[in-house]
């Protein structure tokens, strides 16, 4: 019985290590392999050899200066937007919840930024929503658009002087 428990524990540790060593990619990985048949004496050897990518000069490599950077900082993707769903989708699970920072390997700043962008994308229905998503009314199903930077007309309290707001409020209150 202990032997079975030890093996299950070992298997779960291996699965956790696979998750922790997950690489975040901006584009699809070229995993093409060429199958080679070689005959030597009476033996036939079949092996798969990796094919060198034709976009090798465009691939991102880790340099010694960027060892400890998070994937988004290393790729200089600091100006992400909520519409960049192909990148944001890599940081959410299949049920719509965001992965923890220990798995994604993001720094604190980028983890918070991705969290905000995922929430915006889910509100706009660009990404799948988690099952416990709170809908605030029937208008929640309508399209939502965010503009960056915000326009001044979207912040009336900053444009109109407070004395006008107070007087309007007093008149409406009576």
Strand partners, 43: 40
Selection from 97, 59, 91 nearest residue 72 by Cα: 91
CA atoms within 13 A on the CB side of 72: 22
Selection from 113, 165, 122 nearest residue 141 by Cα: 122
**% the chain with pLDDT above 90:** 9
Q: How far apart are CA 174 and CA 156, in angstroms?
A: 23
Q: Is residue 88 assigned to a domain?
A: yes
Q: Is residue 116 assigned to a domain?
A: yes
pLDDT tens digit string along 55-108?
777 766 665 555 667 888 877 777 788 888 999 999 999 888 899 988 988 889
Least confident piece of the model among 32-36, 89-93, 108-112: 32-36
Q: Is residue 94 assigned to a domain?
A: yes
Q: Is residue 103 assigned to a domain?
A: yes
Q: How far apart are CA 21 and CA 105, in angstroms?
A: 9
Q: Which residue has the tokens 């048949």?
A: 37
Q: How far apart are CA 6 and CA 26, in angstroms?
A: 38
Q: Is residue 53 assigned to a domain?
A: no
Task: Identify the pLDDT of residue 67.
Answer: 61
Q: State the residue range of the domain holding 115.
A: 66-131+142-166
Q: How far apart are CA 39 and CA 104, in angstroms?
A: 45
Distances in Å between the Cα of 9 and the Cα atoms of 5, 12, 20, 21, 157 are: 6, 5, 16, 18, 58
The mean pLDDT value for 100-117 works out to 90
Domain count, the chain: 1
- Residue 117 near residue 88, CB atoms below 8 Å: yes
Q: Is residue 50 assigned to a domain?
A: no
Q: Is residue 4 assigned to a domain?
A: no
**Which residues, in sequence order, are CB contacts of 130 under 8 Å at separation 6+?**
95, 96, 97, 122
């Amino acid at each position: 019985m202990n032997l079975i428990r030890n093996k299950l524990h070992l298997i779960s540790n291996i699965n956790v290590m696979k998750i922790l060593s997950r690489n975040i990619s901006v584009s699809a990985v070229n995993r093409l392999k060429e199958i080679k048949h070689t005959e030597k004496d009476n033996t036939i050897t079949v092996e798969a050899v990796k094919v060198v990518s034709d976009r090798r000069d465009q691939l991102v490599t880790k340099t010694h200066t960027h060892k400890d950077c998070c994937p988004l900082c290393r790729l200089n993707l600091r100006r992400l937007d909520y519409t960049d769903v192909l990148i944001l989708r890599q940081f959410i699970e299949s049920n719509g919840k965001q992965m923890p920072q220990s798995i994604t390997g993001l720094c604190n700043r980028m983890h918070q930024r991705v969290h905000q962008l995922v929430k915006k994308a889910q509100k706009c229905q660009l990404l799948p929503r988690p099952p416990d998503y709170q809908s605030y009314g029937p208008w929640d199903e309508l399209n939502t658009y965010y503009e960056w930077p915000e326009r001044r007309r979207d912040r009336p309290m900053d444009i109109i002087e407070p004395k006008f707001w107070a007087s309007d409020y007093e008149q409406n209150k009576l």
